Structure 1
Amino acid sequence: MRFLHTADWQLGMTRHFLSGEAQPRYSAARRGAVTALGPLAAEAGAEFVVVAGDVFEHNQLAPREVSQSLEAMRGIGVPVYLLPGNHDPLDAASVYTSALFTAERPDNVIVLDRPGVHHVRPGLELVAAPWSSKFPTTDLVAQVLDGLPADGTTRIVVGHGAVDILVPDKDRPSLIGLAALEAALARGAVHYVALGDKHSVLDVGSSGRIWYSGAPEVTNFDDVEPDPGNVLVVDIDEADPRRSVRVDSRRVGTWRFLSLRHGVDTSRDVADLDINLDLMPDKDRTVIRLGLTGSLTVTDKAALDVCLDRYARVFAALVPWDRQTDIAVMPADGEFDDLGIGGFAAAAVDELVATARSSGQDAEDARAALALLLRLTEGGAA
């Protein structure tokens, strides 16, 4: 028996660093990752899809987002089981009970709207732990494991949230206890645990049966999410009394959010940065968070600004990584001697240079003025 394990679609998500046409393209890509499950399910021979929480970004979605999302799910072509998570809990304002969702929900979409066992077919059950609020006061998964028999039925747990061994704050009441999961697996009451909440693929514990699928499209930068954009193809051998499991990761995401650090102390460093950015593929689907450190002359800083301005127009987004950025700008000796100006203008430049070299409150403005002067004299403003 084979199925697809996915989670954290968070349809309707926006990213503050995406502007203009980039945000609609990113939203479409998130729905596109859902659409891609149809061909993948057909290729893999998957019976169904489980979505382990956070199908939607929140419960207050625009009607168009709900309708387009349901249409994407319809196209998957096999049963799709949706688990409400912390972003879209089954509370009084739930999208899952809205008139629009209820009216347009395709027949192949099933909401796991109650905790406990859901029958899939003879000999196969899902054990669901849906969220009914954003702040559960107990381990929802442990509750549904309690009392499950080891009776030969193949069971897949579908849960959402952090497993206790993965977080430093062990006092959170909603943490999923690894010990309870492994005990249920060991006694044969359940055979696979499909989890959501972590946005990268992650095998938890030592059983090989407890997995986070990660999000099918990237949601954060790669220093936070090392392996997003995947779906898990899970194979459970029902002919094996132990229900042996094989898990394969398949990539469906098309966007990248990359964090880059680069030292810039010379014009050569600026040129190297330009080359590195130029060689990156799929710029229209790539977001760069750039951390720069070093000390530059005003001339080299102006060249850096030109470089960054250019690539900000080419990439989906190019944003500063403020915590990793520290650039000192200092006029070099003789840097402004060959501008071909004299008299009052030359005296003004000398005054700007002196101010730029100081530590006063006007130093930054003076450096910016000198950089602009260089760009104007070199034709950079044209």
Structure 2
Amino acid sequence: MVRFVHTADWQIGMKLAKIGDAGKRVREERFSAARRVIDAASAHGAEFILVAGDLFEDNAVDRTQVRMVADILGKAPCPVFIIPGNHDPLVPGAVWEDRSWEAARNVVVFSENTPYELPGATLYPCPLRGKQSDADPTSWIRAEGGDRIHIGLAHGSVEGAPIGEWDHPIPRDAASRSGLDYLALGHWHSFGLFGTKDAPRTAYSGTHEPTSFGERDSGNALIVDIEAPGCAPVLTPVRTGGISWISIEEQIDSRDALESVRERIGKLQNPERTLLRIRLSGLMRPDDRDALDEIALAAASFLWSEVDESGLLPSPEDDSWIGNLPAGLLREVGKRLNQAQEAPEIRT
């Protein structure tokens, strides 16, 4: 049996400019989450840790942050195996050239497509050498030897996964095609399983700390157990994320709908560790403005919040919008449109 931790896409050095001052807190949390990955490996008795690419946001990351990551990984209770991803590929001047990696003696950064032997298992690393490619990074793998557990480590886009950055394509059947017991992937920031229903052998761990709204089951690391060669891997998610990204999208058709949004906000836990995005659309009456203000007030207590009401339109009986138009022709057109809307239907 082999037990290990699968993690990926730490994206250390993210700018996070869109969330303003909260960005500093979110960037710091990525280091705290990294330490929780190491703690999980220790608590679960993992034999090694796999990092499936994009440890860093790019190769221009401040080298102080590179050294902080190397120090964290260097304190792991087991070996750590890393492949460069498409954000931090193996290119001249890459983060991997920093001397801090030499001090982390338990850390191996792979630079070649060469099998790596472990006790009872063989690892097949697929380091990336560029940000984009149409080539399958796993195509070289030919796992052999029925007495060993075969594990692939790659970074790319599995066929059918809803990934925005589509590059380094990987077939859905890459694991079975290559003879792997498990294919540990990075690139998609959500958790995802691929393969047969009985034995999904390909997985995205998702990022260790959420990076944006809309991710599914991110903020975890995976504890992977493989009993013996050919056995289905058993995956156990372990929570490592510290900050939540929550999005509320609501169609408004009444005051009750606005009050319902306010109630949902009130039920959210740990606002000091939550980024909240609210998107409202539909129709709103002018006397419901106070309910909208209450939503904004409640959202203001969170680490970061945004209330997008651009999708809200005035209800048909509300003509206050006309007064906001510039005086003159445009306002006159608005009045006539409103009058035409209110005119009774004439049947012939």
TM bucket (normalised to shorter chain) is 0.7 to 0.9
Matched, 1:142 2:139: yes
- Residues 63-142 of structure 1 mapped to structure 2, 5 A cutoff: 63-99=63-99, 101-102=100-101, 105-121=103-119, 123-142=120-139
Q: Secondary structure at the match of 2:139?
A: helix
Please say if residues 35 and 75 of structure 1, whose CA atoms lie closer than 8 Å, have aligned partners that are also in contact: no
| Counterparts of 1:88 and 1:286, CA distance in 2 | 28
Q: Work out which of the residue numbers 211, 225, 228 in structure 2 matches 1:235.
A: 225
Cα displacement (A) at 1:137: 4.0
Q: Which residue of 1 aligns with 2:314?
A: 329
**Which range moved further: 176-185 or 197-206?**
176-185
**Percent identity among equivalent residues?**
28
Q: Supply the AA of the counterpart residue of 1:194.
A: A
Q: In 1, Cα distance between the equivalents of 2:72 and 2:331? A: 55
CA contact (8 A) 1:3 1:234 kept: yes
Q: Distance in 1 between matches of 2:322 and 2:279?
A: 28
Q: Per-residue deviation at 1:19? A: 1.6
Q: CA deviation at 1:205?
A: 1.5
Distance in 2 (CA, whole Å) between partners of 1:244 and 1:17 is: 42
User: Matches of 2:322 and 2:280 in 1, distance apart?
Assistant: 25
**Counterpart residue identity of residue 302, structure 2:** F
> How far apart are the structure 1 equivalents of 2:273 and 2:57?
20
> For residues 331 and 64 of structure 2, what CA distance do their matches in structure 1 show?
50
For 2:322 and 2:16, the matched residues in 1 are separated by 42
Choose which of 236, 242, 249 in structure 1 pairs with 2:237: 249
Spell out the pairing of 1:151-190 with structure 2 (5 A cutoff).
151-166=146-161, 174-185=168-179, 190=180
Corresponding residue for residue 53 of structure 1: 53
2:344 corresponds to: none
Moved over 6 A (4+): 330-333, 357-360
Counterpart secondary structure, 1:142: coil
TM norm structure 2? 0.84
Do structure 1's residue 212 and structure 2's residue 215 form an aligned pair? Answer: no
- Please report how far the alpha carbon of residue 84 of structure 1 lies from its aligned counterpart in structure 2 after TM superposition: 0.4
Shift in alpha-carbon separation, 1:167–1:297, aligned structure 2, 3 A: closer
For 2:6 and 2:101, the matched residues in 1 are separated by 24
Q: Deviations over 1:230-286 (max 9, x none)?
A: 111111124xx5344222122211222222122444444433332221221111222
Which stretch shows the higher mean deviation, 52-61 or 257-266? 257-266
Alpha-carbon distance in structure 1 between the residues aligned to 2:167 and 2:302: 42
Q: Which amino acid aligns with 2:312?
A: I
One-letter code aligned to 1:110: V
Q: How does 1:19-58 map to 2 (within 5 A)?
A: 19-20=20-21, 22-58=22-58
Specify whether residues 168 and 95 from structure 1 end up closer, same or farther in structure 2 by C-alpha distance, changes over 3 A only.
Answer: closer
What pairs with 1:338-353 in structure 2 (closer than 5 Å)? Answer: none
Would the alpha carbon gap of residues 173 and 278 (structure 1) be closer, same or farther in structure 2, given more than 3 Å must change? closer
**Alignment equivalent of 1:355, drawn from 323, 327, 333:** 323
User: Which residue number corresponds to residue 340 of structure 2?
Assistant: none
C-alpha displacement of 1:129: 0.5
2:200 match: secondary structure: coil
Q: SS in structure 2 opposite 1:86?
A: coil
Count of matched residue positions in the alignment of Structure 1 and Structure 2: 327
Instruction: Provide the secondary structure at the position in 1 that maps to 2:55.
Output: coil
SS of residue in 2 equivalent to 1:274 = helix
Q: Does the 8 Å CA contact 2:248/2:279 hold for their aligned counterparts?
A: yes
Question: SS of 2:169's equivalent?
Answer: coil
In structure 1, runs of 5+ residues without a counterpart are: 336-351, 364-382
- Equivalent positions of 1:167-316 (< 5 A) are 174-185=168-179, 190-206=180-196, 207-222=199-214, 225-238=215-228, 241-305=229-293, 307-308=295-296, 310-316=297-303
Do the aligned partners of residues 191 and 307 (structure 1) sit closer, same or farther apart at CA in structure 2, a change above 3 Å counting? closer
User: What's the CA shift for 1:326?
Assistant: 1.6
Give the number of the structure whose alpha-carbon radius of gyration is greater.
Answer: 1
**Cα pair 1:7 1:53 within 8 Å, conserved:** yes
Question: For residues 245 and 167 of structure 2, what CA distance do their matches in structure 1 show?
Answer: 32
* Cross-structure match for 2:3: 2
